[in-house]
Amino acid sequence: MILFANFLLTGRAPGPTIDDVGDMPYPSRPPPPQVAALVDRARRRDPAAFRDLFQTHVGSVQRVVRRMVGASADVEDLVQTAFVEAFRSLPDFRGDALFSTWLTRIAMRVTMRAARRRHPREPSLDEMMMDPASPAAGPEQVTAARETLALVETLLAELRPKRRAAFVLHVLEGYSMEEVAAILSASTTAVKVRVHDARRHIERRLKQNPGMVAVFNRGGGES
């Protein structure tokens, strides 16, 4: 039986993912040919293509931004800024990487700029629902999910920006070490060190406060 807390630390669980808490879905990416066709149309200034690219990728960008800055009024502004910068830079996109990777690189750059300007605050439980709760979820499930999401964001807020970025992209977003290195313009070795240090910090915090593990257990369940 693998607890959600173990997945957060190791990223190696074959079954359970962030989906276990119900409101932080593991990323699913559209087929590259479909995206490439949209990018080609957007380069020709097709408004529908811009709209489709936005709708296809806005969820993943929101998730990355929120995990970097926590729950704040800035999230939507940062998401909009990331897309504006991406669409303006679209002529420079050469297809050397997936569009989603290129877009995430821009979103991270925008978010890291914002993170350097302010210190992340600890979120309140009322802010923790990234999406509306599933109609099928009962009050206890919603409460447990909120508590778990609050704890995840609190732990992420404690990490240094570079460690947080590497951890979010690799462990929570599922990018490979090589992809994270490309997104962050860092070496693969540096990314591995940052992810390792982030996991050590989270593990230490969990050991210092066993009650945190109980929250993960309630929110993530077992599998």
| Residues 34, 99, 26: CA angle, nearest 5 degrees | 85
Q: Report pTM.
A: 0.67
Residues 37-63: tens digit of each pLDDT: 999 999 999 999 999 999 999 999 999
**120 assigned to some structural domain:** yes
Domain region containing 167:
4-127+141-220
Residues 107-151: tens digit of each pLDDT: 999 998 877 665 544 443 333 333 444 444 455 554 555 566 667
**134 assigned to some structural domain:** no
The tally of domains found in the chain comes to 1
**63 assigned to some structural domain:** yes
Q: Is 185 left (phi over 0), alpha (psi -120 to 50) or beta?
A: left
Contacts of 57 (CB under 8 A, 6+ apart): 99, 100, 103
Higher pLDDT, 155 or 210: 155
**132 assigned to some structural domain:** no
- Tokens representing residue 19 in the block: 């989906």
H/E stretch holding 5:
helix 4-10
Residues 163-206: tens digit of each pLDDT: 999 999 998 888 999 999 999 999 999 999 999 999 899 888 87
Burial 1-38, CB ≥16 within 10 A → b, else e = ebbbbbbbbeeebeebbbebbbbbeebeeeeeeebeeb
Q: Kindly report the CATH number assigned to the domain that includes residue 56.
A: 1.10.1740.10
